[in-house]
Amino acid sequence: MFETVVLATDGSESAARAVTLAFDLADRFDATIHTLYVVDETEVETSPEAVRDDLRTALRARGEEALSEIDAQDDTVTTAVREGDPASEICNYTAEVDADLIVTGTRGRHGDHSFLLGSVAEAVVRRSPVPVLTARQLDPDEQRDVPVPGETGA
């Protein structure tokens, strides 16, 4: 069913749950995972000019760190860092690697919002040519093993 999964991450808590789901799906379907971090060019360009280069460097370093943490879990993962509009880059990368599924968190580094989906996740869902699995960050009182249909005890 799924041969190639794109895991879009920004290193946030919501993305950490997406990592778990992506690895589970890849294991179940014997799929490959491509992990992507996008440096948000709008965030860089709207910052004061004096700090843009430092901000770009810091965001790229954060991306490399987030990807290396995922790579440490499974060294068969392909990783990439891109710069641009995150939703556009995620969709473009998905097409480039001919992926069957995108997995992403619902909220990213910019914290809690009153929206159901973060702006990047929502834009990816709207634009993606393939199915998108969004992983909601659980509240602390929801942090429990959720039974999976078909498994023992479900």
Q: Report domain extents, the chain.
A: 4-135
Question: What is the C-alpha separation between 71 and 53, in angstroms, rounded?
Answer: 27
Can you give the pTM of this predicted structure? 0.83
10-35 pLDDT, tens per residue?
888 768 889 999 999 999 999 999 99
77-107 pLDDT, tens per residue?
999 999 999 999 999 999 999 999 999 998 6
- The third-level CATH classification (topology) of the domain covering 4-135 is Rossmann fold (3.40.50)
Q: Which amino acid is at 68?
A: S
Where would I find the beta strands (DSSP E) of 41-131? 78-84, 101-105
| 141, HSE (Cβ side, Cα atoms, 13 Å) | 0
Q: How far is CA 51 from CA 39, 57, 77, 134, 136, in A?
A: 15, 10, 33, 33, 32
